[in-house]
Structure 1
Amino acid sequence: MKKFELQMFAEPVAGKKIIYLFRIMKNAASAAGAQIAFVTENGRTKSKDADSTATKDGSIRTPGTSEVEITCTSILAKGDTLIDELEDALDNDDLIEIWEANLDEKASDGENKFKGMYFQGYLTELERTSNAEDMVEVSTTFGINGSGKRGNVTVTAEQQAAADYVFRDSVKTGA
């Protein structure tokens, strides 16, 4: 049997290269997707329950519907309006759009396009934690409708810069 060394060519994706953009759906005509400031961790969980039925030949499994949750933990930035908008959306049951973009995988159909996914759902939990020794931390959980759709996500140069340093030359940039 011939063994292929496919792992030799694989490169890991750094966590800071996966970013999330959020927008209240009713604001789609007036606002673009925006990042939450000072994100320390994001997560996306997909799960599915399955029922088991006993038969004379052994049990059979019937899969249920998949459920998706997206989480975000960040340090609260002074003057952050996005967290306030998301909290209002929680109170008002407003639908939220979420884009997940992998900045390590550029798409071929545009300069600022990256491989990603699109989701719609509701903010189901928001927690602000403030202890005496640390910065204020905000944790959010979004319950997603459906399972999301794969596609290419536009991430502006400013949003990319917020996710990582961008090279700047040493020449003057203006007045």
Structure 2
Amino acid sequence: MTIISQIENQEKTSIDFRADDLIRETKVLTIARLAKMLVDLFGLDDPFEKIGKHEGEEIEMYFTELDGYITFILTSERGNFDCRAEKALNPVARLILTVEEGKILGVISSIIRSKNNLFSLIKLMKYIIPGKAKIKGSYVAAIKLVRCLMIGKHEVYSYQGGLFA
């Protein structure tokens, strides 16, 4: 009887771990799809035109709390922008976000809502200096990705029931 209950407990534990993994993967996938959708709908063409020699390079974003990866592939056309919720094969740069799970969308929203200029890039240092975000690899490629994600103060944010209100 005790052996049967131990097996049942192991099965329940295994199911719980798989459910937690599925929830984390779903959150990472949702963030990736949100980034792609916002760039497709509201993104600016100018940062994509300035990709230059970095076109085709993979940049990986890693969320420590979710233990998940998003891979962005740099492209010179906004229409070809793509990101996948998986680990990169050969990343040129890696952005590591070490914020709490509940604050991940706030950080991503802050990046996306920033204007595409030097002053806004400097304002994002508030995440790098305390260690909430780290860049490993090519800083230039990582900055080019961040600039592609910046859509500025778009009218979608002024709507009271908007995406990040």
TM over 0.5: no
* TM-score, normalised by the number of residues in structure 1: 0.26
Larger Rg: 1
More helix by share: 2
More strand by share: 1
